[in-house]
């Protein structure tokens, strides 16, 4: 899980062009949106693309978005659960 | 007798130099436009993380506006709805349209898609400075000082705006040109009269 969280942080920075942010600046439990990393609705779409491109995961239910993309940790947990279910 | 308006300040971003009121403030020799604009952003101490997410057209316009207004503009003197933006260019958002089209071959990028309209640069500047006045974006073959002068004068002379940022912001591949003018109704220490000739002179001087 730690490796996945670390990879996700690097991928998020690259995908969202967060050039002044380093992986260590993003806390595992730090909210990604609004008061945390300050991501917006376009970033949310980019995170969906990130899941699809890097993990072959299609978020089928849009209502899952806020739960899945709450923090880097919740993203990692979702990916891990998905991969366990589909392996 | 027509009312007189004034060019209070001007900023020109060419392919390798950023000028403010005719003075070169920053130069960059590498050809990559993104690197140039990011280097200029850092040089002028930009504190706006969203800059990195913008396309090069918005970066050019945003940066030119930042330099234009720095130490030259008393925002508090105006209501947000009295400050407008009138821009123009030749290539619309083609630079980003092409980049976005490339992404559609694999995974369409939402972040690129939102910049596939030229007037998004006006939105980025407006969000940054909280401007809420009249705005417009025109496509011409080349910088048309006569049209800009007439259009902006009309907005000012009819009290639709009290102040306007206008000019040319164009990007294609690694070529950029951001030439912005701050137009106000009151004369200030270093202002020049807002005429077609003065607009053209300033534009030609830095753009050759």
What secondary structure letter does DSSP report for B50?
A: G
Chain B contacts to A (CB-CB under 8 A): 38, 49, 52-53, 106-111, 114
User: Which of B53, B59, B108, B114 should we substitute to test contact with A (largest number of A Cβ atoms within 10 Å)?
Assistant: B53
Facing residue for A49 by CB, picked from B38, B109, B114: B109
The more confidently predicted of residues A20 and B10 is B10
Could you state, in order of their start, the residue ranges of all structural domains in chain A? Answer: 2-85
Residue with tokens 């596939």: B116
Return the structure tokens found at B107: 């995974």
Nearest CA in chain B to A18: B52
Q: Identify the pLDDT of residue B99.
A: 96
User: Which of A12, A20, A43, A69 should we substitute to test contact with B (largest number of B Cβ atoms within 10 Å)?
Assistant: A20
Q: Identify the pLDDT of residue B1.
A: 60
Closest CA to B59 of B109, B96, B9, B103: B96
Pick one of 3.40.190.10, 1.20.210.10, 3.30.70.240, 1.10.1200.10 as the CATH number of A2-85. 1.10.1200.10
Average pLDDT over residues A17-24: 89
Facing residue for A42 by CB, picked from B49, B52, B111: B111
**pLDDT tens digits along A25-52:** 999 999 999 777 888 889 999 999 999 9
- The reply to whether residue A45 touches residue B49, judged by beta carbons under 8 angstroms, is no
Q: Is it true that domain B6-207 has CATH number 2.60.120.10?
A: no
Contacts of B110 in chain A (CB under 8 A): 42, 45-46, 49
- The reply to whether residue A43 touches residue B49, judged by beta carbons under 8 angstroms, is no
Nearest CA in chain A to B52: A17
A71 vs chain B: nearest CA distance in angstroms?
Answer: 20
**pLDDT tens digits along B83-132:** 999 999 999 999 999 999 999 998 899 999 999 999 999 999 999 999 99
Closest CA to B204 of B61, B28, B14, B33: B14
- The reply to whether residue B111 touches residue A38, judged by beta carbons under 8 angstroms, is no
What's the residue count for chain A? 87
The more confidently predicted of residues A63 and B96 is B96
Contacts of A43 in chain B (CB under 8 A): 111
- The reply to whether residue A20 touches residue B53, judged by beta carbons under 8 angstroms, is no
Facing residue for A17 by CB, picked from B53, B106, B110: B53
Taking residue B61's Cβ as centre, other Cβ atoms within 10 Å add up to 31
Average pLDDT in chain A: 91
- The reply to whether residue A16 touches residue B53, judged by beta carbons under 8 angstroms, is yes
SS (H, E, C) chain A: CHHHHHHHHHHHHHHCCCCCCCHHHCCCCCCCECCCCCECHHHHHHHHHHHHHHHCCCCCCHHHHHHHCCCHHHHHHHHHHHHHHCC
Q: Identify the pLDDT of residue B44.
A: 95
The pLDDT tens digits along chain B (208 residues) read: 668 999 999 999 999 999 999 999 999 988 799 999 999 999 999 889 889 999 999 999 999 999 999 998 999 999 999 999 999 999 999 999 999 999 999 889 999 999 999 999 999 999 999 999 999 999 999 999 999 999 999 999 999 999 999 999 999 999 999 999 999 999 998 899 999 999 999 999 888 7
Could you state, in order of their start, the residue ranges of all structural domains in chain B? Answer: 6-207
């Amino acid at each position: 899980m730690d490796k996945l969280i670390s990879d996700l942080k690097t991928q998020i920075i690259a995908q969202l062009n967060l050039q002044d942010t380093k992986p260590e600046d993003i806390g595992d439990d730090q909210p990604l949106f609004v008061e945390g990393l300050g991501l917006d609705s376009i970033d949310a779409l980019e995170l969906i693309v990130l899941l699809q491109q890097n993990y072959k995961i299609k978020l089928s239910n849009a209502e899952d978005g806020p739960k899945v993309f709450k923090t880097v940790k919740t993203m990692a947990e979702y990916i891990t659960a998905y991969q366990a279910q589909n392996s | 007798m027509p009312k007189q308006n004034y060019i209070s300040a001007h900023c020109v971003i060419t392919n390798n130099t950023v000028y403010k009121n005719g003075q070169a403030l920053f130069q960059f020799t590498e050809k990559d436009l993104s690197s140039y604009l990011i280097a200029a952003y850092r040089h002028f101490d930009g504190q706006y993380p969203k800059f990195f997410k913008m396309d090069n057209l918005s970066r050019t316009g945003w940066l030119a506006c930042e330099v234009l207004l720095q130490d030259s503009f008393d925002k508090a003197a105006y209501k947000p709805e009295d400050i407008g933006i009138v821009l123009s260019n030749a290539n619309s958002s083609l630079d980003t349209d092409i980049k976005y089209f490339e992404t559609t071959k694999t995974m369409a990028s939402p972040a690129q898609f939102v910049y596939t309209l030229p007037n998004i640069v006006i939105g980025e500047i407006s969000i940054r400075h909280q401007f809420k006045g009249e705005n417009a974006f025109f496509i011409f073959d080349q910088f048309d000082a006569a049209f800009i002068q007439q259009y902006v004068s009309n907005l000012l002379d009819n009290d639709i705006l009290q102040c306007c940022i206008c000019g040319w912001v164009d990007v294609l591949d690694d070529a950029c040109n951001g030439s912005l003018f701050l137009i106000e109704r009151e004369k200030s220490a270093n202002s020049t009269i807002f005429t077609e000739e003065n607009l053209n002179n300033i534009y030609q001087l830095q753009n050759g």
